Amino acid sequence: MKSYRVRVAVALAAAGVALCACGPVQAGAAAIVGKERITSSDLDSEIRAFRQELAAHKMSEEQLGLSFPLPQMILLNMSNSRQFIQLGEQKGIAVTDREIDDVVAAQGGQARFDQVLLANGIPLSEGRNAVRAVIIRQKLAQQAGAGTDQQSQQAAEQKVMQEVDAAVPVKFSPRYGKFDPQQGFVADDRFGAVAAPAPAAPAGS
């Protein structure tokens, strides 16, 4: 059985998830990624902005079919990007703006790429970080021996996952549940059910 992380990496090429479940976080933090803190207020701001972006693109949360409630999905994607960007910095892996622009162009341009981001639970403000993380991940896989065959790619992917989890651990606030490598976020019995997304504000409010 493939792990949750591998399944999501295959399904969401622009938003691969490589996260670990670790210990407690500081008060007010939704997650701590390496040395970087994602505050609950930062996450709430991204959730509000994401819902506004969905409305502007005439999309609904129900259409997305996300694996988790929106807060968890956005938190996963934000954490994933920061995790790989930090590892890239540690290993001296650079990603140019041109490389990011090329990925956006390959998706059909910015407008089409924005739709891809939203469909995968990624706020538009996080889009370039998400692409940067994917490119770093690809470069790390190449360094780890990924070739054109599936076997070498899977072996390299496993090495990259192990390296990023060891070098840049992620600690989540228990209010979002426990992160299980096979299932993703699950309810933490010590803290009740997984946090559900807040209802969208009525139009014009």
170: enclosing H helix or E strand: strand 170-172
Position 12 confidence tier, pLDDT thresholds 50, 70, 90: very low
Position 189 confidence tier, pLDDT thresholds 50, 70, 90: low
Per CATH, which fold does 4-21+29-186 belong to?
Triger factor/SurA peptide-binding fold (1.10.4030)
Q: Where are the domains of the chain?
A: 4-21+29-186
Q: Determine the pLDDT at residue 3.
A: 46
Q: Confirm if 39 and 30 have CB atoms less than 8 A apart.
A: yes
pLDDT digits (tens, 9 = 90+) for 194-205: 444 444 444 444
Radius of gyration of the chain (CA): 17
Residue 195 tokens read as 């946090």
Residue 193 tokens read as 């059910």
Q: Determine the pLDDT at residue 54.
A: 95
pLDDT digits (tens, 9 = 90+) for 142-172: 999 998 888 998 999 999 999 999 999 999 9
Helix, strand or coil, per DSSP, at residue 96: coil
Q: Confirm if 172 and 25 have CB atoms less than 8 A apart.
A: yes
